[in-house]
Structures are given as C-alpha cells and as structure tokens.
Structure 1
Amino acid sequence: MIPDTPTPASDASRTRTMTVAQALMTFLANQWTVDGDIRERTIAGTFGIFGHGNVAGIGQALLQLHTDQPGLMPYHQARNEQAMVHQAVGYARMHRRRATYAAAASVGPGAANMLTGAALATANRLPVLLLPSDTFATRVADPVLQQLEHPHDTGLQVTDAFRPVSRFFDRVQRPEQLFSIALAALRVLTDPAETGAVTIALPEDVQAETIDVPVEFLQPREWHVRRPLPEPEELARAVAVIRGARSPFIVAGGGVLYSGAEDALRTLVEQTGIPVGATQAGVGSLVSDHPRYLGGVGATGSTASNRIAADADVVIGVGTRYSDFTTASRSAFRRAGVRFVNINVAAFDAYKHGTQLPIVADARRTLDALSDALAGHSVDPAYAQRIAAEKAEWVSVVESAVAPTGAPLLAQAEIIGAVNAASDPTDVLVQAAGSLPGDLHKLWRVRDPLGYHVEYAFSTMGYEIAGGLGVRRGAPDRDVLVMVGDGSYLMLHTELVTAVAEGLKIIVVLVQNHGYASIGHLSETVGSDRFGTAYRMADGAPEGAAAARHVPIDLAANARSYGVDVIEVPPGPDAADALRAAVRAAKASPTTTLIHVDADPLRYAPDGEGWWDVPVAAHATLESTVRARAEYELERRRQRPLLG
C-alpha cells in the first residue's frame, strides 16, 4: 500500500511517474466511503471489456496493479458492456449506495453499449462509475476505427451521448486534468442527493501518456456521506400539519432504505398509527405482515394502499421521487386540498407537487425527529379500524390469487406464490421489466428490508440476470432469486456465462409465456388487441390468429449450453408443487440453476384499483380503440395537478 504520510526529501519523492490510466486506477483503489461507523471501499472493483481503445491504457493498468499489489483493485470480466453497469447497480443497491463498481469499455460500440446502463443508474439514483474510452485527443490518426464523423462538429463522439444520462460527465483531454476530474467524480458518486451514473471519458492516447502524479492524490481518501438534519422551521411546519391531519398516509420510497431508515419508520408508524404504502424502490421499508403496511401504492399497488391514499388529507413522502406509477399518473391522491410533506435529501424531489412543506434532509434523521415531535400523537381509532379492515381484505385477495388452482398452465400469480413460499426471509428477489414488476408489487410478501430489488425507474429489459449477479456480489451470504420473462431473458441472457465462470450462484426462474405479456395486456387496454406482442412464426397466419404457431425455441436448452443447471417444470395440475420443489432444490445447490416454467399470459393478477396514463388514439376506425378511448377519458377526470 502507498504510505499514509509520505516523508518527501525532494520534489521527485513527492511524485510518481505513471500513465494516466495507472494513476486513475490506483486513485480509485484508495477511495473509501464512510457512513457513520461503516467504512467500505467506494469502488469495490472494475468490470472491463477491452478493445483498441483501452487495452493499452486501463487494461495494462489493471494488470500492473494485479501483479504489483494483488487484491487492491479486483478485475472482473463481463460478456456485455450494458451488463457490467447493471452488475454495478445491483451491487450498489445492496450496499445502500455506499459502494459500487467501475465499468470500463472501449471506443465506439463498446462505449455506446453502456448508455442504457448509465440511464438506468441515473434514473434509479444509484451510483456507478463509467470509464468509456474515447478517440485520440491529439487526432494524429484521424479518423480512427469506430470514430464518429460529424462535418458540423468534428469533436463530437459517442461519449458525448453520456452527457444527458449521467449525473457527472467530463473528458480527460490532457493528463493534467485527471486530478480535478477524478475528485469531482467521486464527490458526485458519494453524494446522496446527486448520485447516479458518473462518467469519465478517456481518450485512448491520453490513457497511455505519462504524468508526474502527486503522492497525496494516490493516498487513501475518505468520502463522508452527509446525513443532514431537518431545518427546525421546516420540521415544525410539517409536525403541525401532521398533527392536524385526520387521514395521514406515508409513501415510503427507496430513500428509506438508502438512509437505513427502516427502523426509524417502524418506530414512527407504531407510535402514531399512520399507515404506509411503498413504491417499487421502497418495498422492504416495512415487512409485509406489519399491521400498518398496506402494500404497494399507485398504478401497481394494492386496494388497501390506493383506497387509503385516495382519501388522505396529508401525504408524507419519504425518499420518493413520485413517479407516475407511484401517483397513478396523478390520480391516486384525490382528496380536495390534500397536502404533501416531502422528506428527501434532494431538494429537487422534496419540492415536487408544488408542496409548501418540503423537508430537505436525511430520511432517518427526519423520521427520528418526527417521532420525538409527535410523541403522544396517534390517528383516530376509527381511521385505525379502517386501515386494519382494508389490509385484511387485501391479504385475503393475495392469498386467493397465489393459491394453486390446478389449471393446466400456471397463472403468473401462482408462480409468484410458489417461489415466495419456497424462499427464505433473507433471499433477494430481483426483477425489472414486463408484467412481473406490477404483479410482484402487489403479491410478493417481503420479510427483509433488502429482500426486494425491482428496478422500476427505467424498467430495463435484460437487467435481471446481470443485476442479480451484482446483488450476489454485494450479498454473498444470501440466495438471489431472479424472476424473468422470456422476452426480457432473450435481451441479455449471456451473463449466465459470467455466473458460471465466476462461480456466482443465482437462481433464475424463467417464466415462459411466448411473448411480451405486459405490453400484450396493455395493448388490450388501449384498444390495440395485442398487436405485435406475441412470439409467433411469420408463416402467413394473421397477426393474433389462434392458429398461429409459437416460435419453436428451447430456452432451457439455451441455459444448459452455458453450463447452467436446469430444472424444467412441466405444465399440469401439480405444477405449483413442482415449482416449489424446484426452488428448494436450487437453493440447496451450490451452483447457478435456471428453473423453466410455462405460464398463461391471459390470467392476470388481482386489480389494485390503480391507473396508469397511457394515451389512447383520439380517432380510430377500430371499435376496440373507440371503447378504450371512452374509458381513458373517464379515468383522466381523476387526474389532479397536486399542488400541495
């Protein structure tokens, strides 16, 4: 390790001659995040796929570090650049944003492949460090392989596409710029209010150039996570409004978990009786069987949450960005004069819905302060009784939905119930796209704060397996249950090779429904009759015809070809029992297992009385579209500007 306190004898002893890439990777290896009494590596390692843009720069630097100081900066190979970013995001979530990975890609297509991952990280407010390579800064060889050429702007390159999807972007065009850029990047990466994708573009020639690096740049450096206290005036205004509320309701977002505020939330809820509905990112803030937890809220929420939310006179948003799914496209909170108390470390989110009651502060510290300020206060007994009744009714609905029916093909709700029943409390569910996020939000019974990981800010098809690997890296003592539909599986299944190569055990439940089930259902609701949403042979049969043939793919065989153990659950009346047994067998195995199960895409999860605004064609000759437009106009009447 580099000494903490060098004792320079001359200018030369205070610097080290290194390449830019060597200096950057050594710097990253010595960054630490400190959150209270927790101290961990900010950059746990580097994913990399090498090409001419980085093989002699970052590739050489990683090899040299591995040779000279083994373990200082672990390197992991991946099969897809997008998947590298997904792994980093999964890891960061499990570490509550205190730690992440760097992801290095070559010029052109390698860099462009990371763009989806960058957008996902930024949308989810999860930290990841991206190191895409760039073309020659000197332009001595111009144009080079994979360089873009724009006659109106010859300096514009693929890496410029990272600007709108990154929370921080800069390009090291001269070696001397490295120091200020690296420090600025780490500041954003470790800032709870600013974090997301942090991008440092690295021209391939600059990576390999030498620079005299100050030793202090390479020494261990700590980045302390800020946990700001609420302003007394903001807190006092919020307390007065909450005390005067007749039907308050808490929306728990991902910020509850990133702040480690689940215990503080539980204390406040048990003290006051205020009920809680969770966003997708906030599931786990309270365990499912807590008497004041009403399930998901919004478009994919429960009837319990949505009915209470509709009548709430004060909504207390904790660490939520109020996406359209959370607010049911601004139709969930219907009471005239509803007011919002928004607790968020990011002012951008705290001021949403025009609220005059923002609290720009850490979630845990604010909830602790609210508990103290609301001592002795509790909701009205009649309101408490209604909360209990709504929860009991929804629990009954869930139990009925997940119970086996003996039908030839399992409904997705039955699949969720079987997997949930066979899992352990500390297992982590990973999901991202398709019809599963909505069904899981309603039906999955979470028993651990970090037991539910559904990426639903960007809802990226293909995230599941790669994200699951990141979760497993971040929590090697937990089983990771990846649930994925065949549509999303086909987007990015190659990371199963990474699971095998690195001995990272995940359990993949592949739900085969021969198409895009969620968009098929959505297509029906907007009057488009499932057009283009099923996987069918292009053999002349009309789109949607019952006689159309399934594409004869064998996804179980595909997984076996990667070296993965596969369990196939045959259709039939005992399929739910077989699925539970398969999950238990996979949990007992030391290696990655894929469980293949067929599903009926036309049997839906129960309705939670939420709505999602997807515009319907205002003019159509199709009767199905005309009917859908009429229903759409009725729903739109419930939308409100929500100016608190």
Structure 2
Amino acid sequence: MSVRLTVAQAALRFLEVQQVERDGERHPFFTACWGIFGHGNVAGVGQALLERARSGEPGVLKYRQGRNEQAMVHAAVGYARHRDRLATHVVTSSIGPGATNMVTGAALATINRLPVLLLPGDTFATRTAEPVLQQLESDSQGDISVNDAFRPVSAYFDRVHRPEQLPAALLQALRVLTDPARTGAVTLALPQDVQAEAHDWPEELFAPRVWPVPRPVPEPSALKRATDVLKSARKPLVIAGGGVIYSRAEAALRAFAEATGVPVAETQAGKGALPYDHPLSVGAVGATGTTAANQLAAEADLIIGVGTRYSDFTTASRTAFAFPGVRFVNLNVSGFDTAKLSAVSLVADAREGLLALSATVGEWTADAAWPGRATELAGEWDAVVGRAYAHESAPLLSQSAVIGAVNELSAPHDVVVCAAGSMPGDLHKLWRTRDRKGYHVEYGYSCMGYEIAGGLGVKLAALEEAADGRGPDRDVYVLVGDGSYLMMSSELVTAVAEGVKLIVVLVQNHGFASIGALSESVGGQRFGTSYRYRSGLSGELDGERLPVDLAANAASLGADVIAVADRAGLHEALRAAQKSTRTTVIHVETDPLQPGPDSGSWWDVPVAEVSALESTRSAREVYERGRARQRTHLEAP
C-alpha cells in the first residue's frame, strides 16, 4: 500500500512518529516546528504544516512562529539542551537569506553537540526557471547554492533532489541526531519545487519508529588501563563537562567522588553536576574558574575528564594543569575527545563509565588530606562569592551584585540563561548552582543574541515537563548585556505571542563590557567598545554616550518593563516579576569598570608583537609570561 503526498507532507508525517528511548523511557523526539515562510517554503513545508494543524490528528508537530531564523535555531537548541538531547525541534526557512540566517545557529548547535533538524528551502532542482530570486550563481559549479554554507557546520548534510531520496535522507538524519557522540545540527536542504512534488510513499515510512539512545559501556582493557592509572594517583581531580548532565550521571559522579575522595571541578556545560555546597565541589575551572578549582588543578597529579571536550577556557589555554608529571584519563562518549591531552582513553557513556570505575577501583581513595583541602579552598572561594554578592559600588550596581540578587531571590530549581559578554565568566565563577538544570550558559559558541531565544526554548521545555509531571515549574532568568540584547531582542515578541513567561535581566553598560576589558588587557585601550557618538575632534567614537533607551525598546516589543537603579529596586523588581504571568524585562544600569573576582587564571589572546603604543608593548610582555607557562601535554600516559 502507498500514500500519495508531497515531499513536505511526507517529511512532516515521518517526523511526527519518530520516538527515542533511553533507560526504558520512550517519548516523541520532535515536538514542534519553528518557521518563517517565504517563497522557498511557504508552498511546501508551510502548506504541510497548515494541513497537519487542521487535521485534528494527535501528535501533530506544533507550529511556532519566530521573528529571526537564527533565533529559531537558538530556541530549538535551548529546548534540546534542557531535554538532555532526548527531544528537539524542527526549524524551516525560505531559500536565500532565510536559510543563511540559520547558519550561525547551526554552528552553535554542532559545536555544543545539541540536536536540531534544519529544513531550509533551496533553489529549483529542475533548474527550468534559473536564476530564481535569491539564487547564488557560479560560473564554475552548477549545483552550488547558499545552502552549501551549512556543510562545515552541520553534523550531517543532504540535499533532496528527488522524492525517492527523502526516506534515506530522513533515516540518516535521525541516526545522527540520536547519536550522543555525533549529534548536532542536521541540515536537509529541500528545493522549493521538490517540496511541492507529489509521490507515492510506502505506508511503512509513516509507521512509528523508535531510536534507542545508547549508553556505551567501557571496553574491558581500556577500563583496566584507566583503573590502574587512577589507583596510582594521590591527588586526582575530576573535570565534569556537559556529558555528565546529558547522561544524567550526577548521582554516579557524586557516589564516585564520595567513595574515593576525589574533588570535582566543572566546565560551563557541566556546572550543576554537583550542588555548589557539596564538600567535594570546587566549582568552575579554568580561565573563568574559581581559585579553589584552579589551585587543585595546578596541584593534581591526575585529571579525570568526564564528558568534557577541554576547550581553551577549561584548560586556561593549557596552563591550568601544572603538576610536572600530570596524567589524564578521559571518559567520553566521543572517541575524538578521549584522545585529547595524550590521555588514557575511556570511550563510554558518562554514567556507565563512572559506575564501572567505581566498581573497579575497590577500596582505593585519594590521599587523606586531599578532600579536606578541596573543602577548605571551596569555603574560601564561597566567602569571596558572598562578598561579591554584597558589593556596593555607588552610584551604579556591579554586575556581581546583580548576579547575587538573582541567585538569592530565585528558587533552587529555576534556570539562569546566558551566552556572551562578561556575564558568562562571572556566572561561571559566582553562580551558586543548586539543581542539575539550574544553569544554562551557552559557551561552546558563546553567541551574542542567544540569550532570549535560548531562554524561550528552555522555558518551553520546562513547561512541558511540568505539565507531564516530569519536572518542577521553573522560572527562567535570562541575563543579558546591552550588546547581546541589541543583537537579537526580537524573540521577546515571540515570548509574548506564545504567552511564555521569561524574566529578562537586561544589564545596561553602554557598550561591550567584556571586550572592553579584554581590549584594555591587550593594550587596545577599549577602542571601539563603547556606544558613543563620533567625535568631531578626534574622528573616533569617543564622544558622549548614545541616548539609547533599551527599556522603551523592550516595552515596544510587548514585554512588561521595570527600570531599577539600586539594590532595593532590583529586589523589588525581581519579586514583582516572579509574581507576574507575563514576560518581564528588568532594566538595570551597571558599572562596566567594576570587575568580578579574579580567578588568577590565564587565557591565550595574542597581543601585537610590535606596536607604537606603550600600552600594547606592556601587554605583550605580560602575554609572553603567560605563554611561557603553556604545556603541550604530549607525554605518553
């Protein structure tokens, strides 16, 4: 038997019945489709979505209307991350600029290894009307389109030229999306004429299909090598990455740490792997880390990386792990990551790998004094955090004080969302995480503009979990600077349209605070990092501050807005936002020259080797001293 449908109609029918299963739990993998319609998809995917919405059938993908194609991908990614990669959204766009607007979102998804399915329109497969509107023509490649830009930033890419190609493309897409080691953005480019083309499809294509999400166990000989290295260590340190969270391995990590006395430090994606106040939790590690975690990292004779890809921030550009004979054991579902830093490789699911290590190490423990040192150092850092939260800086609040107010007034299960600027570094060091899903900072791509769209995706996932009884009713706090806000404030409109409540804390510092500080540190004197008029005297952008009213802008997009000037006003605004059922933007001016506590760590940002500026020459001397501390970690384990 066959069913006659267009390519777009068939694709949606297929996606609606795909399910995933892990640990005996089974549920739909795709729950919604974001879309902005243009001539490249309105008659294909757009028509199919309308038809499905009017069908009255259960399990139809819910259509969600975005305001920016990149933001739609961010929302889907935020949703997928909160769902531990076990569910995601589809995103469709027109051809041309609609499609290329999604490329940044695709890169973010793939770098963070979070699943999202992209269905961009494409130019005519028949080529009878070429060149069509928005088509990229090449005099050397007849089959190229702007969608080829997705290839390097997609975990899987295909272009469906003929209806017969669709089933294989969809199956390959699901294979990659549900593979924890491979997942990311999957792009299926759909030429606009092919989307509308009818075909007789076998009924089997639309039968429910279950995709098991694997939990690979360690290979025995690899487990023995890792165990032997661990037993020979005296002062090991775990670096918990995002893989711990996605695997839901927090209980296994806690049991391992408590049984062995091994302290735990966290990457940005791994924050929340242990509650901040656990005796063996030393918090953030690396360039945006705590002094506790970085001190232990410098002293540790063994680093056990669990679910981390060791970004330059995590390793402090390879200066963090300073013990002369330091060794590494890397537990990761991705073999690519286990080979980093010349480590003993343990390819496995984070939970299964930790359970296996716990079973094989037996009664072994770290040096008796090591856990106590971790607790002592963590206590010292927590006192620093307390002082930062209470910091007074008249007439404007410091960013640390803003973070402190949100942390102290939010519930343990609420979620903080951020992505770019100086805020992620301060959050990594200062946020007291109390729930495994309480911290959501996108720092793989650190994409300006992610915050509001990503927060929208998180809130949609949290609402579904609360409705199904699978999670608490969480408020989502989006912390965003004025630079990121101006990049993509448009999804405030989407939150209002969907009736989804966000609490957005908009920090106004009249420019790019993070890059301003970085510019100063590399001798750039904060050039081009403030929002100012161009001066008639100097010819540079160093005149008076621009009269930008972001509070008025947020109100014009439909959000409730509360402008505050001091700590008492911020506390009052946060309580009002918590009681409200609508999206609320809290606008607060801060002092960009008041930095958060220093981690004492280093990040490799090259400084000009020759310069006429004394500030740059001085910065180069500091840079050379930092670079001298870098390690290759090429020693055999």
Could you tell me which residue of structure 1 aligns to residue 613 of structure 2?
Answer: 622
Could you tell me which residue of structure 2 aligns to residue 557 of structure 1?
Answer: 552
Deviation string, structure 1 residues 577-609 (Cα, Å, up to 9, x no partner): 221221121011111000000000001011111
Structure 2 residue 437 is matched with structure 1 residue 450: yes
Distance 1:194 1:384 in 2: 36
Q: Which moved more, 1:69-78 or 1:148-157?
A: 69-78
Distance 1:448 1:540 in 2: 53
Structure 2 residue 247 is matched with structure 1 residue 247: no
Q: Residues 230-309 of structure 1: matches in 2 within 5 Å?
A: 230-309=218-297
Matching residue within 382, 400, 403 for 1:413: 400
Alpha-carbon offset, residue 543 of structure 1:
7.5
Could you tell me which residue of structure 1 aligns to residue 97 of structure 2?
Answer: 109
Classify 1:406/1:334 alpha carbon distance in 2 versus 1 (closer, same or farther; 3 Å).
Answer: closer
Q: Which amino acid aligns with 1:111?
A: A
Could you tell me which residue of structure 2 aligns to residue 3 of structure 1?
Answer: none
Q: Does the 8 A contact of 1:404 with 1:576 survive in 2? A: no
Q: Which amino acid aligns with 1:562?
A: L
Could you tell me which residue of structure 1 aligns to residue 132 of structure 2?
Answer: 144
Q: TM-score, normalised by structure 2?
A: 0.97
Aligned residue pairs: how many?
625
Distance 1:342 1:541 in 2: 57
Distance 1:464 1:632 in 2: 32
Could you tell me which residue of structure 2 aligns to residue 472 of structure 1?
Answer: 459
Structure 2 residue 31 is matched with structure 1 residue 35: no
Could you tell me which residue of structure 2 aligns to residue 634 of structure 1?
Answer: 625
Q: Which amino acid aligns with 1:563?
A: G
Structure 2 residue 91 is matched with structure 1 residue 95: no
Q: Residues 68-87 of structure 1: matches in 2 within 5 Å?
A: 68-70=55-57, 71-87=59-75
Matching residue within 281, 295, 302 for 1:314: 302
Q: Does the 8 A contact of 1:486 with 1:514 survive in 2? A: yes
Matching residue within 377, 380, 385 for 2:372: 385
Deviation string, structure 1 residues 112-140 (Cα, Å, up to 9, x no partner): 00000000000000000000010000001
Q: Does the 8 A contact of 1:230 with 1:366 survive in 2? A: yes
Alpha-carbon offset, residue 406 of structure 1:
5.2
Could you tell me which residue of structure 2 aligns to residue 512 of structure 1?
Answer: 508
Q: Residues 3-82 of structure 1: matches in 2 within 5 Å?
A: 14-70=1-57, 71-82=59-70
Distance 2:267 2:307 in 1: 10
Deviation string, structure 1 residues 348-379 (Cα, Å, up to 9, x no partner): 00111122x11000000111111122232222
Structure 2 residue 579 is matched with structure 1 residue 583: no
Q: Does the 8 A contact of 1:418 with 1:577 survive in 2? A: no
Alpha-carbon offset, residue 544 of structure 1:
8.1
Deviation string, structure 1 residues 6-35 (Cα, Å, up to 9, x no partner): xxxxxxxx1101100000000000100111
Q: Which amino acid aligns with 1:37?
A: G
Structure 2 residue 178 is matched with structure 1 residue 190: yes
* Percent sequence identity over aligned pairs: 59
Q: Residues 341-490 of structure 1: matches in 2 within 5 Å?
A: 341-355=329-343, 357-405=344-392, 407-476=394-463, 477-490=473-486
Structure 2 residue 110 is matched with structure 1 residue 122: yes
Alpha-carbon offset, residue 405 of structure 1:
1.3
Could you tell me which residue of structure 2 aligns to residue 9 of structure 1?
Answer: none
Alpha-carbon offset, residue 307 of structure 1:
0.7
Distance 1:181 1:109 in 2: 24
For the residue of structure 1 that corresponds to 2:487, the secondary structure is coil
Alpha-carbon offset, residue 391 of structure 1:
1.1
Could you tell me which residue of structure 2 aligns to residue 11 of structure 1?
Answer: none
Structure 2 residue 537 is matched with structure 1 residue 537: no
Q: Does the 8 A contact of 2:391 with 2:400 survive in 1? A: no
Distance 2:594 2:81 in 1: 32
Alpha-carbon offset, residue 541 of structure 1:
5.1
**Which structure 2 segments of 5+ residues have no match?**
464-472
Q: Does the 8 A contact of 1:532 with 1:543 survive in 2? A: no
Deviation string, structure 1 residues 620-644 (Cα, Å, up to 9, x no partner): 1100000000000000011001124
Q: Does the 8 A contact of 1:510 with 1:594 survive in 2? A: yes
Deviation string, structure 1 residues 180-229 (Cα, Å, up to 9, x no partner): 00000011000000000000000000000011111111111000001011
Could you tell me which residue of structure 2 aligns to residue 10 of structure 1?
Answer: none
Distance 1:326 1:221 in 2: 39
Q: Does the 8 A contact of 2:159 with 2:188 survive in 1? A: yes
Alpha-carbon offset, residue 72 of structure 1:
1.2
Q: Which amino acid aligns with 1:639?
A: Q
Distance 1:405 1:623 in 2: 33
Distance 1:110 1:191 in 2: 28
For the residue of structure 2 that corresponds to 1:384, the secondary structure is helix
Structure 2 residue 593 is matched with structure 1 residue 602: yes
Q: Does the 8 A contact of 1:569 with 1:596 survive in 2? A: yes
Distance 2:232 2:445 in 1: 37
Alpha-carbon offset, residue 243 of structure 1:
1.4
Distance 2:249 2:370 in 1: 25
Classify 1:553/1:526 alpha carbon distance in 2 versus 1 (closer, same or farther; 3 Å).
Answer: same
Q: CA RMSD in A?
A: 1.1
Deviation string, structure 1 residues 300-324 (Cα, Å, up to 9, x no partner): 0011000100111110000000000
Classify 1:543/1:636 alpha carbon distance in 2 versus 1 (closer, same or farther; 3 Å).
Answer: farther
Matching residue within 603, 607, 611 for 1:612: 603
Runs of 4 or more consecutive aligned structure 1 residues displaced over 6 Å after TM superposition: none
Alpha-carbon offset, residue 69 of structure 1:
3.6
Alpha-carbon offset, residue 414 of structure 1:
0.8
Distance 1:642 1:403 in 2: 40
Distance 1:578 1:462 in 2: 26
Distance 2:221 2:539 in 1: 61
Distance 1:542 1:118 in 2: 41
Distance 1:276 1:580 in 2: 32
Alpha-carbon offset, residue 235 of structure 1:
1.1
Q: Which amino acid aligns with 1:423?
A: S
Classify 1:398/1:544 alpha carbon distance in 2 versus 1 (closer, same or farther; 3 Å).
Answer: farther
**Which structure 1 segments of 5+ residues have no match?**
1-13
Q: Does the 8 A contact of 1:423 with 1:584 survive in 2? A: no
Q: Which amino acid aligns with 1:372?
A: A
Distance 1:27 1:264 in 2: 36
Classify 1:240/1:319 alpha carbon distance in 2 versus 1 (closer, same or farther; 3 Å).
Answer: same
Q: Does the 8 A contact of 2:304 with 2:328 survive in 1? A: yes
Matching residue within 140, 146, 157 for 1:169: 157
Distance 1:327 1:233 in 2: 28
Q: Does the 8 A contact of 2:534 with 2:540 survive in 1? A: no
Q: Which moved more, 1:230-239 or 1:380-389?
A: 380-389
